[in-house]
Amino acid sequence: MERASRLISRLKLPAGTVTPEDLARAVWPLAVGKTIAAHTKAASLVRSTLVVEVEDAIWRRQLHVLEAQIVRKLTEELGPAVVDGIEFRIGIPRREPQRAVTPRASADEADEIEDPLLRRIYVARRRRELA
């Protein structure tokens, strides 16, 4: 597989169209895989350090252990001297568990009519029809 930087250089785009930061952000999911990419976001490239936002401290700790492998993979994809290190920051808020909302069952369907006058008319009409 060819490096992304080589492929883009063949496109002969005007200078400055695609920055190293754009390349690093585009290659991030390829370098780390779907699972990690779902919980992280490559935010910016400061000098040669890629700033990555993670969901929480647990992800930051786990990815810090894998930093050397990720940098090696990014170097394979981008070429040398684009990304030398990664800084993991907590930035993406994690969704909290939510309770399922069940609709409240009404004992009488007339209770769903907001207008009190219309509700009385409806109840009276129903009584006459059922009698």
User: Does 27 score more than 50 pLDDT?
Assistant: yes
* Residue 57 to residue 43: CA distance in whole angstroms: 17
Q: Would you say 89 and 52 are in contact if contact means Cβ atoms under 8 Å apart?
A: yes
pTM score > 0.75 for this model? Answer: no
Structure tokens at 65: 């252990």
What's the alpha-carbon Rg for the chain, to the nearest Å?
Answer: 29
- Average pLDDT of the residues of the chain: 84
Is a pLDDT exceeding 80 seen at residue 4?
no
Check residue 51 and give its pLDDT.
94
Residue 75 has pLDDT above 70, yes or no: yes
Helix runs in 12-131, H state only: 20-32, 34-39, 57-65, 67-78, 116-130
